[in-house]
Amino acid sequence: MADQDPHSQQILLFFAAPTTKTNQRTSTVQEWANDILVQVKSSLNTPNNSGPVALLYQSPEESILLLEAVTQEDVYNLEKTLKDFKFSQPTSSRLYERFPPQLQDSSFVSQLAHIASESPHILVSVGMTPSSENEADFNKWYNDEHIPMLSRAPGWIYSRRYRLLASGDNAPQYLAIHGWENDLSFASESYKEAVSTPWRMAVVGNVIARERRDATFVQEVKGAA
């Protein structure tokens, strides 16, 4: 593959599978994650590259797997092949682009793996679809008010936004993922202020689809080279 363009899109692959009595064992979850990584590597068509790296999260309700791709070729291949992925259990599969677009920085998954090696963290993923007439205000609120206010709450680690490119289900148009040291942050006054401003109430009142997932980091998963 050609050298990566510093202006390449940064892509997030997001997979989620509900927890059931038959798949809640750790070995079963790891098998699910490994199967996905094999298919991702095949789609990226990079036989000489090292295997992909992903982060596995779990909650009582589901397992979540996050991994990245950063080149235009990756995007093209994944948009074509994601719908054909085969899963060992029912799985929501989604492909997102970084939003707003920006210069490529270091691997987000690598950053999180480093964070997790020092201390477990909580992932909060929030998907929303704003109405078309409110989309500009939605994005302005998220970028100018919401994330800056969240960043002042104790225990905040990061916030990152994405926009949907492809999905195997009826996914919301925008995704925000937030990292927190623990759930004590949600009881802080600064967090409560961030989620209760008049602008936030107006914006969220106009979304036409919304979902939230909370999960705890389990482990880094590496695909075979």
Structure tokens at 94: 């989604």
Question: Phi/psi zone of residue 67: left (φ > 0), alpha (ψ -120 to 50 degrees), beta?
Answer: beta
Is 198 a domain residue? Answer: yes
Q: How many independent structural domains does the chain possess?
A: 1
Distance CA 40, CA 223 (A): 9
Tokens 């990226």, located at residue: 44
Structural domain for 80, as ranges: 11-221
So what's the pLDDT on residue 105? 52
Helices (H) and strands (E) in the chain, counts: 7, 8
Which residue has better confidence, 28 or 162? 162
> What CATH number did the domain enclosing 170 receive?
3.30.70.100
In the prediction, which pLDDT does 148 show? 96
Reported as a single tens digit per residue, the pLDDT across 44-100 is 755 555 566 789 999 999 999 998 866 667 777 887 788 888 888 889 999 999 898
Residue 179 lies in a domain: yes
For 110, left (φ over 0), alpha (ψ -120 to 50), or beta?
alpha
For residue 4, being part of any structural domain is answered with no
Structure pTM?
A: 0.84
Decide if 94 is inside a domain. Answer: yes
Name the token pair of 55: 């982060």
Q: Give the pLDDT band (50/70/90) at residue 4.
A: very low
Where helices occur in the chain by DSSP H, the ranges are 26-44, 72-81, 108-118, 135-141, 147-150, 189-194, 198-204
Dist. CA 109–CA 220, nearest whole Å: 9
1 located within any domain:
no
